[in-house]
A and B are shown apart, each in its own frame.
Chain A
Amino acid sequence: MNGGVTTSPRAFVVRIIVALIFTVLLGRLIYIQLIDDSYGNLSDQIQYRDVVVHPPRGEIYDRNGELLAQNRLCYDVSIIRRDMSKEGFDTLRVAALLKMSPEVLVKRIKSSPYRVERRISTYPISVEEKLLLDELNVAGLYTSQRTVRQYPRKIGGNLLGSISEVPEEKIRQDESYSAGDYIGREGLELAYESVLRGEKGLIMQDKYAPLDSRNTVLKEPVSGRSIVCTIDAELQQFAEELMENKVGAVVAIEPSTGEILAMVSAPTFNPDEMIIGRERGNNYMREQNNPRRPLWNRAVRSRYPPGSTFKLVTGLIGMQEGVLRPHYQYPCHKGYHLGGEHIGCHEHRSPIDLRYAIATSCNAYFCYVFRNVLENKKFERAKDGFDVWREYVDSFGFGRKLESDFLGEGSGYVPTRQFYDKMYHKSWNALTLLSLSIGQGELGCTPLQMANLAAIVANRGYYYIPHIVREIEGQDSLDRRFYERHYTKVDPKHFDVVVDGMWRGVNVDGTCQGAYLRGWDVCGKTGTAQNPRGEDHSTFISFAPRKNPRIAIAVYVEHGGWGASMAVPIASLIEEKYLTDTICRPHLVEYVKKTKIAYPMYDRKKR
């Protein structure tokens, strides 16, 4: 050391400590890397291979315990190049079994690493094919178990979703996935991925005795947990059949729990065609390119004008705001005329009270109510009244996500004050927005929100968040939010009048007498939503029975004409099926199924 540099015995001791620490680390490394072979030495790699054990995915049951999605055993084929014999093997037969060309097979083998196991089959092979492959006894070729989905009923394509290989970005985000794993895409499979997937296991397997019980299990696989969903498979299938050849959606909810009994997005697709395999790509592209967009889940995503079904909300808000009493009468002479505004209506007697206005779906009546709400004297300007109106609408679940457990839920659209300020350059009033009162204009609702409205009325003022899963294996309860009652801002006491009107509409003298079911006291409200693209949308929300409702339903048929013409019979048949478990009107079923609606607006795009 140089002069001036102080050294101390401590400097020596400190170096001893450093040396000691590194000796401990190195000693431990010597032990686990060189001495202890329980961690699998390099030499073991010649005899053993690490097998990733993919757990079976959790199965999906309907509310009655029927299987909606089950697992089918299949096999992945992989190789370890080092273990292959020098002489080669019958590539022709192997390639035939793997359904690929021999050239591709040879290329894949050549490009795979020497020591590491590499999958060579593009798609999993069936059990029969695996047995045939085993007979060939090719050295260095290994199979490992996988499971793919199988759908006994072939229903609920959009509802259940599908599974596919995990995309590369996902692997980068989430370390627990690795290439070749399966992951839920869309629907229930995606929403409950964490429950369904289970955990991969790892086995150190003797290559020459794959079934030996002494194979070391490094990590036990954990099977995916099953889920029981709230869907009634039979009802779902029936609803899907009724919606054939139509575009639209059906959502049925059990009002007392918020459980979704059926959820159809038409047109639908066969989930069996989306199973991982050779056909998936073609089928997927076919559905993807279908101009009617079967892959788009209309039941929770589409924004539809709610049409006259929204009058219920207008009436309820009017009563809560004190500007409407059930006995108030308003005149209607083929519509509402004021200044330049004109909203037409069909012919009916005049003047009428609230109950009859709901039953016969009078446009003018609700225009009066809407104006009275917004132009209430307690507000300085109609715009303030609009803000209050919007808060009410929001409390009914419109214009926002309902926070159901279904991923990809759309929020619909309820315009805001800012929206209108921009649209009309700040000069607008209640008259400008009049079409909102009857569910037209800028309003957009998902069928789920409309079914929820039916459930709210059925419950007289509150709803449970609609959800699709009833039970999860190994879990006592669902998320808390599904057990809470969500009240609207309208007092429950006002609902009875509306229910009265809806009952009258079906059972006495209204627009939806086609929904009448003897002894079940069906209540309903039709809607005929005008739209710029073609024929009116046909829609209907309903619940039954009037006391202690068991089902609330919304049916939306795009361009189906009058509410009564298409949506009413569909909803009525679904209610009949659910409530009585039989169908007394087979001719109506025939009629509905056979009705084909022309959709030039969709099909034209094709060319």
Chain B
Amino acid sequence: MEYRADKISLFKGVDRVAVLLYIALVVVGLIAIFSASWVEGSENFFSFSHNYVKQAVWIVISLVAGVVMLLLDASLWHKIAYYLYGAAILLLLVTYLFGTEVNGAKAWFKFGPIQLQTMEFAKIAIALACARLMSEYNFSIHSAKDLMKVALLLFVPLGITVLQNDTGSGLVLCSFLFMLYREGLNKWLCIPIIFIAGLFILSFIFSPTALLVTLILVFTVSEGLSDGRWRACVVYLAALFMASILLYLVVNIFTESSFSYFNSLLIATILSLIVVCVYAYRARLRTLFVMVALFVASVAILPTSNAVFSKLRPHQQKRIEVFLGIEEDLNLTYNVRQSKIAIGSGGWFGKGYLEGSQIRYGLVPERHTDFIFCSVGEEFGFIGTTFVLLLIAAFILRLMRMGDNQRETFGRVYCYAVASILLFHTLINVGMTIGIVPVMGIPLPLISYGGSSLLSFTVMIFIAFSLDAQTRSELPTNRSL
């Protein structure tokens, strides 16, 4: 390992505000975990069977790891990014093959008494590899080939998490879109991705017929908007629906089979597209071609949602169905309801530390891990939740600032990747406790109970700190904090 020779002080150039924010978050976590796991009247306050004691030990281990990250030469990360990525992929595969199954997901690795979720650590390597790739000399965010490379970098680990039955934690990689946007990803690429994601979710709720009709209308209207050929559009729509109804009636009357309207509409649409293509070719309308291609892509997405859905674990399927209101699961709605009651009953100032009845009675499930935010919400009220959220927001913004201050693309991409991951985790975790996001087993960074989560986040964050410290100490004028 290389050490920085020119360094006089270990903490030279380290962003003290960011470190303070980090420590504040960890302490908030410990306070909340204590409240959620302390059983009244239990002997052995410092016994290792208590979650808060374990967490405290993990905090110490994490801090040591963080200091080690600061000691290492920041340029090291650039050098070993790809090797780390390779190791991470290998580790994920090994976990998939030989890992321990927890809650149906083969995503954990056991070292004696310690269980580690390998994806937590793989995230660091993925972020580093992304940064390395995007900082290559001839990398261009506008080149399709380069973008494909980034996509490959992200989809390989995502694929493995799907195999591991742990899609939830793999979805975190979606947050890299945010970082890519910052790096200048074409917004015309962002919009279709978001459009398709939206379509993906809608396809769970609405019938295929309704979606197909909506898609036809959306694309016809946007074609009308872009070209102004309203008359042609109206004629096309009228002809299409007439044809489909005719087809439906004719087939059903003559063959007496139960041919659904969806099928006839689909056939009519496909046939009509041939006509449209011929028309577009003759009239040399390039946008029409693009529209047709996008439309075909969107229609092709529809059946994939079911295929993906069936890949999810039963409890994940259920969570999504419950959230979308397709199915009522008393147990899940109960969890979210309990969590909302806990937070809602906190009011302005909360019920006081260790006096939250929801938490104390154990009515909130997973109260020290995924639902730790309830503990804050119930016992410290709106003041507490706002404080914690502002802390996290400040921390994320600080990380982004570090990214912007970086001279190298490598550091910038990495800092933004870390910020994106934190943002994603916070949104999903806090969102689910207050019922605006489906329940996914994703921890609240630095606050939720869990050693592997805390350690991996700490390492990830301190690498960013170290990159930042190097930039600062190299600056000609030492800026004030």
Contact = CB atoms under 8 A, between A and B. Distances in A.
Q: Are A and B co-members of a single complex?
A: yes
Interface of A: 1-2, 4-8, 10-11, 13-15, 17-19, 21-22, 24-26, 28-30, 32-34, 36, 38-45, 50, 52, 113-117, 168-169, 171-172, 175-179, 202, 218-219
B362 A176 contact: yes
B431 A25 contact: yes
Interface in B373-398: 377, 381-382, 385-386, 389-390, 393, 396-397
A11 B404 CA distance: 8
A21 B427 contact: yes
A36 B365 CA distance: 22
Interface stretch (B237-245, B246-254, B261-269, B336-344): B336-344
A198 to B, nearest CB: 14
Contact of A25 (B42, B400, B430): B430
Contacts of A2: 405, 475, 477, 479
Interface in B29-45: 39-42
Interface of B: 39-42, 49, 178, 181-184, 334, 337-338, 340-341, 343-352, 354-355, 357-358, 360-363, 365-367, 377, 381-382, 385-386, 389-390, 393, 396-397, 400, 404-407, 416, 423, 426-427, 430-431, 434-436, 475, 477, 479
Nearest to A42: B347
Nearest to B479: A2
A21 B351 contact: no
A25 B367 contact: no
A115 B343 contact: no
A548 to B, nearest CB: 46
A172 B475 contact: no
B366 A175 contact: yes
B343 A178 contact: no
Nearest to A43: B347
Contacts of B355: 113-116
Contact of A10 (B181, B434, B436): B181
Contacts of A202: 361, 363
A29 B184 contact: no
B479 A179 contact: no
Given A22-B389, A34-B382, A10 B361 contact: no
Given A29-B385, A33-B377, A41 B182 contact: no
A26 B348 contact: no
Contacts of A38: 344
A223 to B, nearest CB: 15
A111 to B, nearest CB: 10
B182 to A, nearest CB: 5
B343 A29 contact: yes
A1 B407 contact: no
Contacts of A219: 334, 338, 363
Nearest to A33: B382
A50 B477 CA distance: 61
A5 B407 contact: yes
A42 B389 contact: no
B347 A14 contact: no
Given A5-B406, A25-B427, A116 B434 contact: no
A39 B405 CA distance: 45
A18 B389 CA distance: 12
Contacts of B423: 18, 21
Nearest to A219: B334
A418 B344 CA distance: 65
Contact of B178 (A17, A42, A113): A17
A218 B364 CA distance: 12
Contacts of A36: 344
Given A7-B404, A29-B382, A116-B355, A40 B345 contact: yes
Contacts of A18: 393, 396-397, 400, 423
Contacts of B431: 25
Contacts of A24: 436
Minimum-distance CB pairs A-B, first 7 = A39-B344, A42-B347, A178-B362, A40-B345, A32-B344, A33-B382, A22-B393
A43 B381 CA distance: 12
Contact of B348 (A17, A34, A45, A176): A34
B346 A33 contact: yes
A15 B400 contact: yes
Given A33-B382, A171-B39, A42 B436 contact: no
Contacts of A175: 362, 365-367
Nearest to A39: B344
B131 to A, nearest CB: 15
A113 B182 contact: no
Given A29-B382, A29-B386, A113 B354 contact: yes
30 contacts: A2-B405, A2-B477, A2-B479, A4-B407, A5-B404, A5-B406, A10-B181, A10-B182, A13-B181, A18-B397, A18-B423, A25-B431, A28-B436, A29-B343, A29-B385, A32-B344, A32-B434, A33-B346, A33-B382, A38-B344, A40-B345, A42-B345, A113-B355, A114-B352, A115-B352, A115-B355, A116-B360, A169-B49, A202-B361, A218-B341
B368 to A, nearest CB: 9
A10 B185 CA distance: 10
A14 B176 CA distance: 12
Contact of A50 (B49, B340, B357, B430): B357
B435 to A, nearest CB: 8
Given A18-B400, A175-B366, A33 B389 contact: no
Contacts of B182: 8, 10-11, 14
A505 B346 CA distance: 78
B341 A39 contact: yes
B28 to A, nearest CB: 16
B61 to A, nearest CB: 22
A165 to B, nearest CB: 12
A22 B39 CA distance: 33
Contact of B344 (A6, A25, A40): A40
B475 A45 contact: no
Nearest to B477: A2
A327 B236 CA distance: 97
A40 B355 CA distance: 15
B425 to A, nearest CB: 12
B250 to A, nearest CB: 49
Contacts of A21: 423, 427
Contacts of B41: 179
A168 B382 contact: no
B42 A50 contact: no
Contacts of A33: 343-344, 346-348, 377, 381-382, 385
Contacts of B340: 32, 39
B390 to A, nearest CB: 8
Contacts of A15: 397, 400
A112 to B, nearest CB: 10
Contact of A41 (B39, B183, B345, B360): B345
Contacts of A45: 345, 351
B135 to A, nearest CB: 13
B361 A50 contact: yes
B382 A14 contact: no
Nearest to B403: A11
B434 A28 contact: yes
B90 to A, nearest CB: 33
A200 B385 CA distance: 29
A52 B361 CA distance: 8
A2 B404 CA distance: 10
A9 to B, nearest CB: 10
Most buried by B among A18, A36, A113: A18
A13 B341 CA distance: 35
A50 B355 CA distance: 13
Nearest to A25: B430
A34 B397 CA distance: 27
Given A28-B434, A39-B341, A42-B345, A14 B178 contact: yes
Contact of A42 (B334, B366, B381, B434): B381
B215 to A, nearest CB: 27
Contacts of A6: 404
A115 B42 contact: no
